[in-house]
């Protein structure tokens, strides 16, 4: 691990991978290099059977303070289209492994859009979040308008995005933008605790839970319930289901193998 890298990667023996954005000089602003590295590492994690959960974070000052404005200030529409930054976020959202964001400090613009790619968001209580793109003459273009509206409702999303105002971790929790609030400076510690808790669960069940929740949200209730039913039935073909239920009946801790 090179401290000068824009993305630092650590892996624990328990199957948790930590990805840390490392551009402190610009409050972890997201340039194409960071976006590419994040996508590449998460695709790699998705295909690695030894990885059970991924955590991404920044620093205590900023998770990511936004997109790197220097890369886009003079760009034309064709330039922006050619960059196609959405493909990097799509790689994150399509990762079959659970993805947790640990947010301290600023998560603004593209930084908040990055966090919203995660399945679970843990925010430090002093974190500041928002989509301030309107203040520089644009609008959120990495999923922010659609994801925030689905989380907090149309009217509140309109207010937040049209004013570009920041909001704190407590408000984010109340609105459903984040999963949990930790004491300031403890978001990563808490995120890693959750990651290791998930990593100890049966891997096939965890992947199926992620898949059916995400697919079901974009389907009718009848279709979503059918997806759930089929996934539930398929669990009974796994060795971990047999181990889990036997352990329960034998009053012992199960030993899941991810099979």
> What are the structural domains of the chain?
7-199 (3.90.226.10), 203-249 (1.10.12.10)
Does the annotation count 187 as an active-site position? Answer: no
Secondary structure (3-state) at 8: strand
Does the annotation count 109 as an active-site position? Answer: no
Q: Examine the pLDDT at 3 and tell me if it is beyond 70.
A: no
Q: Which of the residues 29, 67, 101, 172 is marked catalytic?
A: 67
Q: What is the pTM of this model?
A: 0.94
In the chain, the percentage of residues whose pLDDT exceeds 90 is: 86
| Arithmetic mean of pLDDT, 38-66 | 96
Q: Examine the pLDDT at 2 and tell me if it is beyond 70.
A: no
For the chain, how many residues are written? 259
Listed residue (73, 75, 59, 45) closest to 6, CA to CA: 59
- Residues 181 and 240: their CA atoms lie apart, in Å, by 32
Does the annotation count 67 as an active-site position? Answer: yes
Query: To 5 degrees, how large is the angle CA 179–CA 181–CA 34?
Result: 70
End-to-end CA distance of the chain: 32
- pLDDT on residue 189: 97
Q: Which residues on neighbouring strands pair with residue 133, listed in sequence order?
A: none
> Among the listed ranges 21-35, 58-72, 158-172, which one has the minimum average pLDDT value?
58-72
Burial classification of residue 13, based on how many CB atoms lie within 10 Å of its CB (0-12 exposed, 13-18 middle, 19 or more buried): exposed
Q: Which residue has 């994690």 as its token pair? A: 45
Q: Which of the residues 66, 110, 124, 142 is marked catalytic?
A: 110
Q: What is the pLDDT of residues 165-218, one digit of tens each?
A: 999 999 999 999 999 999 999 999 999 999 999 999 999 999 999 999 999 998
Q: Which of the residues 101, 123, 133, 169 is marked catalytic?
A: 133
Does the annotation count 110 as an active-site position? Answer: yes
Q: What is the pLDDT of residues 140-154, one digit of tens each?
A: 999 999 999 999 999
Secondary structure (3-state) at 3: coil
Average pLDDT, rounded, for the chain: 93
Q: Which of the residues 29, 113, 130, 195 is marked catalytic?
A: 113
């Amino acid at each position: 691990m090179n401290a000068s890298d824009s993305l630092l990667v650590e892996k624990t023996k328990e199957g948790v991978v930590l990805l840390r954005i490392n551009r402190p000089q610009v409050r972890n602003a997201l340039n194409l290099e960071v976006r590419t590295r994040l996508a590449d590492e998460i695709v790699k994690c998705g295909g690695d059977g030894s990885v059970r959960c991924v955590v991404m974070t920044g620093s205590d000052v900023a998770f990511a303070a936004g997109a790197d404005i220097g890369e886009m200030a003079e760009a034309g529409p064709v330039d922006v289209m050619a960059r196609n930054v959405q493909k990097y976020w799509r790689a994150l959202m399509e990762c079959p492994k659970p993805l947790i964001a640990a947010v301290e400090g600023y998560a603004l613009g593209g930084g908040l859009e990055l966090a919203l790619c995660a399945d679970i968001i843990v925010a430090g209580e002093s974190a500041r979040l928002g989509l301030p793109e309107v203040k520089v003459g644009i609008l959120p273009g990495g999923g922010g308008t659609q994801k925030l509206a689905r989380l907090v409702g149309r009217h509140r999303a309109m207010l937040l995005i049209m004013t570009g105002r920041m909001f704190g971790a407590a408000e984010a929790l109340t609105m459903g933008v984040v999963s949990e609030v930790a004491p300031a400076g403890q978001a990563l510690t808490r995120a890693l605790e959750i990651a290791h808790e998930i990593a100890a669960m049966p891997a096939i069940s965890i992947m199926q839970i992620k898949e059916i929740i995400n697919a079901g949200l974009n389907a009718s209730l009848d279709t979503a319930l059918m997806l759930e039913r089929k996934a539930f039935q398929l669990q009974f073909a796994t060795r971990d289901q047999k181990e889990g239920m036997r352990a329960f009946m034998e009053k012992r801790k199960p030993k899941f193998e991810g099979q």
